[in-house]
Amino acid sequence: MDDVAVSAPGREACVRLDAENPLASLRDRFRMPRDVIYMCGNSLGPVPVGVPERMRRAVEVEWTDDVVRAWSSAGWHVAPERVGARIARLIGAADDEVIVADSTSVNLFKLLVAALRKNAGRKVIVVERGDFPTDMYVASGVAELLGGEVRMVRPDERAGAIDESVAVVALSEVKYRTARGYDMRAMTRAVQDVGALMLWDLCHSAGVMEIALNDCNADYAVGCGYKYLNGGPGAPSYSFVAKRHQADLRQPLTGWHGHAAPFAFVDDYAPAAGMARLRCGTSPQFSLIALEAALEAFDGVDLKAVRVRSEQLTSLFIDLFDAHLVSRGFGLVTPREVERRGSQVSIAHAEAYAIMQALLAKGVIGDLRAPDVLRFGLAPMYVRCVDVFDTVAALVEIVDGRVYERAEYRQPGKVI
């Protein structure tokens, strides 16, 4: 990158920024993959150092020695509540307002049905185009089942769409594709002002910024365990329900682990008190144990400081974008205003597909969202300023050398 008259930092400046990073040592909490620059923590986080030994113990000690007794002796039974409490501290909730169970999609289903039942008489679920598709898919499944209506709006239509017919609004705090972020407090208030309930999807925000669910008076939330929480592939998801909504919460997936007395084995269903009623079947323990061990990477970490580092990384990426990528046919997808974006930078290019293939071949791991968006997750606990610099430099090389024109990068089906 030898563009003349560039105001963005050079590589040496980036090395200096990393040396001055007060959170630099957090990177040692991860087994970073060798020989690559990992910019995909917004899809799947890397391995926190405590996980392998914890998993070995779960399989080779707890299961092997205690077998069924480990449900008690190793605390497997109460893991959904215990891990939920750990996550609660990362998202501004009380320990007994969060539980880990099932996938994000299944949890969205539970809470959207609960919201329609709570807000009886209203039938509309508002979701936003461009949010992660499962939010829209699950909303449509719920509406079909209950005779509800999904109002799927563009961001510019949203304000007009939230009226007194709306039962619940489901929005991602940070959008998966653009990294655009919402003001949780203002949006929650606007939704509640018309008597609707607010459900936040935290998949792309939890772990990289302060989240204050209770301080913002959120009603419900769901989130994912395997992105910035680093819980491993398909780690179970969590649900948040504000204390004020717990007593009359009616979720439809009435499995035995959500029963008031699951081991009494009675014929009739009676929901457990509190968040336990959001449990359904038996939790996939190994995936839950991996998530629990992964969360230790957050021990003693101040999310305010994490957000400062996140802003430094995304701002640096955008400065380098302005200096080197605009002139090479890239467009900026992520908002420029720092307070309106999450911990990711997305850029667009007409040759995005082939460019991402070429980038992967160079050992820079980002991903593509068809047709033309390249996404880079800047997880502030382990991504460095030099990683951002080297990523942009690799993009420059690929474009200047027309590397993306090679046939091997144009084959379909290889993208991640």
For the segment 213-252, give every residue that binds its own copies (CB under 8 A): 224, 226, 232-237, 252
Minimal distance, residue 226 CB to its own copies, in Å: 7
> What's the rounded Cα separation, in Å, for the pair 24 and 381?
8
| 253 makes contact with its own copies (CB under 8 A) | yes
Minimal distance, residue 375 CB to its own copies, in Å: 11
* Nearer of residues 216 and 289 to its own copies, judged by Cβ: 289
* Nearer of residues 30 and 182 to its own copies, judged by Cβ: 30
Query: Which residue in 16, 177, 245, 307 binds its own copies (CB under 8 A)?
Result: 177
- Collect contacts of 144-153 with beta carbons under 8 A, ≥24 apart: 145/113, 146/113, 146/116, 147/123, 148/116, 148/123, 148/124, 149/123, 149/124, 149/125, 150/124, 150/125, 151/124, 151/125, 151/126, 151/127, 152/127, 152/128, 153/126, 153/127, 153/128, 153/129
Total interface residues for its own copies by CB under 8 A: 89
410 closest CA partner among 362, 365, 356, 367: 356
Subset of 123-162 contacting its own copies (CB under 8 A)? 129-130, 132-134, 136-138, 140-142, 144-146, 152
Subset of 182-211 contacting its own copies (CB under 8 A)? none
| 43 makes contact with its own copies (CB under 8 A) | yes
* Nearer of residues 189 and 414 to its own copies, judged by Cβ: 414
> What's the rounded Cα separation, in Å, for the pair 125 and 29?
40
* Nearer of residues 44 and 99 to its own copies, judged by Cβ: 44
> What's the rounded Cα separation, in Å, for the pair 107 and 253?
10
* Nearer of residues 74 and 313 to its own copies, judged by Cβ: 74
> What's the rounded Cα separation, in Å, for the pair 45 and 343?
13
Subset of 78-117 contacting its own copies (CB under 8 A)? 102-106, 109, 113
Q: Cα-Cα-Cα-Cα dihedral of 405, 385, 172, 415, to 10°?
A: 20
* Nearer of residues 216 and 381 to its own copies, judged by Cβ: 381
Subset of 306-345 contacting its own copies (CB under 8 A)? none
> What's the rounded Cα separation, in Å, for the pair 39 and 344?
9
> What's the rounded Cα separation, in Å, for the pair 228 and 378?
10
Query: Which residue in 3, 12, 28, 60 binds its own copies (CB under 8 A)?
Result: 60
Subset of 352-381 contacting its own copies (CB under 8 A)? 360, 365, 367, 369-370
Query: Which residue in 239, 285, 343, 344 binds its own copies (CB under 8 A)?
Result: 285
> What's the rounded Cα separation, in Å, for the pair 386 and 365?
14
The residues that are catalytic are 132, 201, 226-227, 375
Query: Which residue in 9, 46, 181, 223 binds its own copies (CB under 8 A)?
Result: 46
| 47 makes contact with its own copies (CB under 8 A) | yes
